Chains A and B, each alone.
Chain A
Amino acid sequence: MPASDHVLGLKCRLCGKLYPKSPVNFCTDDFGPLEVAYDYEKIKPTITRAKIAARARTMWRYRELLPLDGEPTVGSQVGGTPLVRADRLADALGVEKLWIKNDAVNFPTLSFKDRVVSVALSKAREFGMRTVGCASTGNLANSVAAQAASAGLDTFILVPADLEKTKIFGTAVYGAKVIAVTGTYDEVNRLCTQIALKFGWGFVNVNLRPFYAEGSKTVGFEIAEDLGWRFPRHVVCPMAGGALIGKIHKAFTELNAVGLVEQPVTTKMYGAQAAGCNPITDCVKAGRDRHKPVRKPNTICKSLAIGDPADGAFAAKLIRDSGGWGEDVSDDEIVDGMLLLAQTEGIFAETAGGTTVAVAKKLIDAGRIPKDEEIVLCITGNGLKTQDCVFDTLAEPATIKPSLAEFETLTAGTPLGEPVLV
């Protein structure tokens, strides 16, 4: 079933006004954000668990709930990342049932952003756009550059000038035109809005944002399917713009609406931020309706350093309404979280992953997440991109000559490993 049948249009999240599918991201009456609206009754008879199971293990196995008119033309291999049962991390955190949704190994650029970009760029092509771009804190830049290169699209990418070098190079390598802007992410974002309005290019997180954001739902679809078509009790999710947490919850709601999961959605959603940029968790904790923007984010967790999150108010409301909570952690706790995840589960996540693990620990220690219920942590990016943050905490390797005597001297006094069983 093509999307031309199952997508009703774009709906304003404030006033509900419906717009036809087009590259617009806000309501022209009240400037509220637009979101893709589907006809779930129409979708319901066309989608079954068996039909999904017969498809390739990519995010596109849920294509009826994604907003393309035809087949994906960009990123057809994205998604299908592992949901890892994390018993060693569970022991360390003192909980019984814990999973990691590991988008640190998403294809092709090692973050969940590959999901949103494949939808946005496939949609850009359906709209006939030739030039695409984004404002990015890094992961999005990598993904837009790589996937646009594979599609032969021209690319302009604007990033804050103080971003990690790895993320800037990991964008330029694909041939994208990278523009470093001396300012915060929010200033870069404002400039992109002005460029998109003036030039009509496809900025994935500006005028293509309603379509783009839908790609994040596939994290939620995969979690539910991999748990055996049911929902976890608790989900902890990092928050930058605040869209992902909402889309995971929307995914659960949709699976219920189209009859793939009968269980009603009672999952509690928890949002994680860095203390140096915590507009959404502050909004939750202070009980505000709107977030207070952070002028100068100050954290090693640059991928979450959005001071004025577009979905801030929606994320805070969802967290409260679902019975979850928001928490933020210091840079030291973020590094500890990265190391804990790496050393218990062998998963090297970027700073945002460290933030998520550290926030989960804080919420569990505080009794906000019970120890005997199912918890899923969303890891959204790869530690190889933010290695600078952990270098200082790791000991240099001991150096010896290739001599058994030197090895024995080095290891003298340390307990020897068990001999290999024969």
Chain B
Amino acid sequence: MAITVQIPPPMRDQVGGQSEVTVSGATVQAALDDLVKQHPGLGPKLFDNGRIRQYVNVFVNDEDVRYLDEMETKLTDGAVVALIPAVAGG
């Protein structure tokens, strides 16, 4: 199952400059675990003690996973997972 993860510019140094990485996984957690397996440098950027960082928002097909099943949100083939820094607005 192919999942596309969109990488924001401040995380691209850890993935060799790519803007997108193809991973596999049936849930958001599994997909991001695979991403970190492929690019270990991303681990500390995305996770803090095993939890996704407070100021990293994760979107599946343009919906914030906090309104879905958080990290257990199921993914289907071709899903797009976007990682977006959360600090903006107001």
Contacts and interface: CB of A to CB of B under 8 A. Distances in A.
- Among B10, B45, B84, B90, which residue has the most Cβ atoms of chain A within 10 A? B90
Contacts of B48: 30
Given A30-B53, A290-B54, A295-B67, A209 B9 contact: no
A192 interface: yes
Given A30-B55, A197-B9, A308-B64, A206 B90 contact: no
Interface string B16-55: 0000000000000000000000000000110010000111
Nearest to A244: B90
B56 interface: yes
A206 B9 CA distance: 14
A140 to B, nearest CB: 9
Interface in B45-90: 45, 48, 53-57, 59, 62, 64, 66-67, 82, 84-90
Contacts of A240: 90
A203 B66 CA distance: 25
B9 A193 contact: no
A313 B8 contact: no
Contact of B56 (A31, A205, A213, A306): A31
Q: How many of chain A's residues touch chain B, expressed as a range?
A: 35 or more
A194 B57 CA distance: 12
Contacts of A25: 85, 87-88
Contacts of A241: 89-90
Contacts, number: 91
Given A190-B59, A293-B67, A308-B64, A31 B85 contact: yes
Instruction: Give the most central of A26, A203, A205, A293: most B CB within 10 Å.
Output: A26
A293 B66 contact: yes
Contacts of A185: 89
Contacts of A213: 90
Nearest to A315: B90
A29 interface: yes
A31 B90 contact: no
A26 B55 contact: yes
A205 B89 contact: yes
Contacts of A316: none
B67 A313 contact: no
Contacts of A34: 87
A224 interface: no
A26 B10 contact: yes
Q: Which of A30, A196, A213, A309 has the most CB of B within 10 A?
A: A30
Interface in A207-244: 209, 213, 240-244
Nearest to A30: B53
Nearest to B10: A28
Contacts of A309: 89-90
Contacts of A206: 88-89
B11 to A, nearest CB: 8
B50 to A, nearest CB: 15
Contact of B90 (A197, A203, A290, A310): A310
B85 A26 contact: yes
A318 to B, nearest CB: 14
Nearest to B48: A30
A190 B54 contact: no
Given A31-B53, A293-B67, A310 B8 contact: no
A306 B88 CA distance: 11
B15 to A, nearest CB: 14
Contacts of A310: 86-90
Nearest to B56: A31
A34 B88 CA distance: 11
A202 interface: no
Interface in A9-62: 14, 25-26, 28-34
A379 interface: no
B8 A197 contact: yes
A244 B89 CA distance: 12
Interface of B: 8-10, 44-45, 48, 53-57, 59, 62, 64, 66-67, 82, 84-90
When A and B form their complex, which 7 residue pairs have the shortest distance between CB atoms, in order from nearest?
A241-B90, A31-B55, A189-B89, A33-B87, A206-B88, A26-B87, A26-B85
17 contacts: A26-B86, A28-B10, A28-B45, A29-B45, A30-B45, A30-B48, A31-B53, A32-B54, A32-B87, A192-B89, A203-B88, A242-B90, A293-B67, A306-B89, A308-B86, A310-B87, A313-B54
